[in-house]
A and B are shown apart, each in its own frame.
Chain A
């Protein structure tokens, strides 16, 4: 039903933004998960968005999460010889999570989510009004 395509589009945005919020939550939760091995330390995750147009569905594009990639930022090396996770030289490695960047991502995702909810609400109201035409 083509008149309900707007719900698919707004819904795709909601799910994409919630994936983004999930990765932000994961990154913030693990911002202090240190490790004694720089290869095993947590890496910040981020989703990759892509615009998709379904064939025969008109020009409007929904959004799709292509995948979640791991950040290439180098882990932070800290000298903490008393730390239980410290390696032989007394270093621990913290993930290269930029907390400020994650907060900005969170705000942006929340705003995009909100505007898609508004779009959905408006579309629902208009669809309901269309159904009651002539009454």
Chain B
């Protein structure tokens, strides 16, 4: 259960992941003309697996800090990976603007989907609370 919210499930973390992806892809697009820049992205499947596995140590005392990652940053295992260039350019830049734009749209859409899930969950919780 570590790191997975009991109310909103995995969607809160999925939102964070998609936001990080959008930041990375915005950085890739910003550096589309920077010589030697290597495009990077996060692997959703890998991060999902790591989150579900929830590498949390067993705590023997209530005051012990949890090792479960609350976000996605700072974990070298889940760090961003370099994109394999389809058409490498002479100046060493591996940003393919079309791929990045497509991936950005993908991340934005998934973010919206996550928002939709959380929103409907909130609505159903509210109707359960108010009983109307």
Contacts and interface: CB of A to CB of B under 8 A. Distances in A.
A25 interface: no
A123 B104 CA distance: 10
Contacts of A58: 20, 23, 73
B112 A133 contact: no
Given A115-B101, A134-B119, A12 B111 contact: no
Given A6-B26, A119-B26, A126 B31 contact: no
Interface residues of A, number: 34
B95 to A, nearest CB: 10
B35 interface: yes
Most buried by A among B22, B26, B122: B26
A122 B23 CA distance: 12
A119 B37 contact: no
A130 B33 contact: no
Contact of B115 (A9, A10, A118, A133): A133
Given A60-B24, A129-B112, A134 B123 contact: yes
A17 B122 CA distance: 42
A3 B20 CA distance: 9
**Secondary structure type dominating chain A contacts:** helix
Interface in A7-25: 9-10, 12-13, 16-17, 20
Contacts of A6: 19, 22-23, 26
B57 interface: no
B29 to A, nearest CB: 5
Interface in B26-53: 26-27, 29-35, 37, 40
Contacts of B37: 51, 61
A14 B37 CA distance: 17
A8 B3 CA distance: 29
B112 A59 contact: no
Interface of A: 3, 5-6, 9-10, 12-13, 16-17, 20, 49-51, 58-63, 108-109, 111-112, 115-116, 118-119, 122-123, 126, 129-130, 133-134
Interface of B: 15, 19-20, 22-27, 29-35, 37, 40, 73, 79-80, 97, 101, 104-105, 108, 111-112, 115, 118-119, 122-123, 126
Given A49-B33, A122-B105, 15 more contacts: A16-B30, A50-B34, A62-B27, A62-B30, A63-B30, A63-B31, A63-B34, A109-B33, A115-B29, A115-B97, A118-B101, A119-B25, A119-B26, A129-B115, A134-B119
